[in-house]
Structure 1
């Protein structure tokens, strides 16, 4: 299994990157934005998903773990293959996907080429709850990435999720530059108070 590639970009055309890794050129399918973001001759690190079929072996590449994690989740939805999953990621950022799922907004997915109404609904149903479960190294969640670990901690302490999210939103707005989880957690606990614990 090829999980990542680090090498020099030989070609960047349309939705394909050719990456030279120690003399071997790997063709990797990427989103158009990803292809446009790199330059021929530069070194890149691409997270990859290797899809093996009877008559084909393909590599799909992503600039970060967020997009790879969402790609894997999308492929687990009935009716969504690798190409459709890439289509979703070419149209929507991971945060937008997470928010659409949280809002049960399947209309967002119907705008993606190749995704019909039935599949759009299945995406929302299948991904509900799963984006929150993506490991912290891949920060895609239906909440602001910066506060995701704090929210998990608050719920784990016994606070109701809705109340915890509200307090966290207030803290993030009041401290937009603060990134330390411990600081954000203390501030959120100060806003919640003991009465919020169930």
Structure 2
């Protein structure tokens, strides 16, 4: 079990980073917010969780213990794997997840693509009592600076399963719906808005609204 990695950042995108740990490049998947705080060449310490499958070992990195704790607890929900747990943390702050579970607000989770009402209800039901709000402020995500912001958002979208064409279309639609995001082009905020728009679009399609 690898509980953390420490070393200089060897490469960086919005979906993953490679950390040079004593000459060994450790590929770490993380949320845009976590990766947005990293800089190429700078030393970093990331709390990690290793997911072992029959054919793979995947390392997920987190900015702090709270993020990893929420990730681990999300994995206890039936039907939620590491990819979806990371997608939830890409859209929602750990404290927002805690509040949603504690108040029984399943709707907050349907903002995440791939999380419909049934899955959202299961999250609230199965995690009730396991996640309590800490009182921490829900902070806005910092801007990432490794690549052009739109390229970063597209990279994150494709890593979550969308093709480039659909990702670009969704980004443009989200920016049109929330034009204030263009100011400063906060990458993590744009990604959240795009995922939120996709979730709303799925709801509109299910209800027959175009």
Structure 1 runs (4+) deviating above 4 angstroms are none
Query: Distance between the aligned counterparts of 2:82 and 2:10, measured in 1?
Result: 24
* 1:142 CA displacement: 1.8
TM-score, normalising length from structure 1? 0.67
CA contact (8 A) 1:12 1:36 kept: no
- SS of the equivalent of 2:133 reads coil
- SS of the equivalent of 1:100 reads helix
Query: Distance between the aligned counterparts of 1:143 and 1:9, measured in 2?
Result: 31
Unmatched segments (≥5 aa) in structure 2: 138-210
Query: Distance between the aligned counterparts of 2:67 and 2:112, measured in 1?
Result: 16
Query: Equivalent residue for 2:114?
Result: 114
**Higher relative contact order structure (alpha carbons within 8 Å, sequence separation ≥ 6):** 2
Query: Equivalent residue for 2:31?
Result: 31
Query: Equivalent residue for 1:189?
Result: none
**CA deviation digits over 1:125-178, x for unaligned, max 9?**
1111112xxxxxxxxx324159xxxxxxxxxxxxxxxxxxxxxxxxxxxxxxxx
* 1:14 CA displacement: 2.1
Query: Distance between the aligned counterparts of 2:105 and 2:78, measured in 1?
Result: 18
- Superposition CA RMSD, Å: 1.3
Instruction: Give the count of matched residue pairs.
Output: 137
Q: Is 2:49 the partner of 1:58?
A: no
Query: Distance between the aligned counterparts of 1:97 and 1:11, measured in 2?
Result: 30
Query: Equivalent residue for 1:20?
Result: 20
* 1:32 CA displacement: 1.4
**CA deviation digits over 1:96-133, x for unaligned, max 9?**
111111110101101101112111111111111112xx
Query: Distance between the aligned counterparts of 1:45 and 1:127, measured in 2?
Result: 29
TM-score, normalising length from structure 2? 0.63
* 1:76 CA displacement: 0.5
Unmatched segments (≥5 aa) in structure 1: 132-140, 147-198
Q: Name the larger-Rg structure.
A: 1
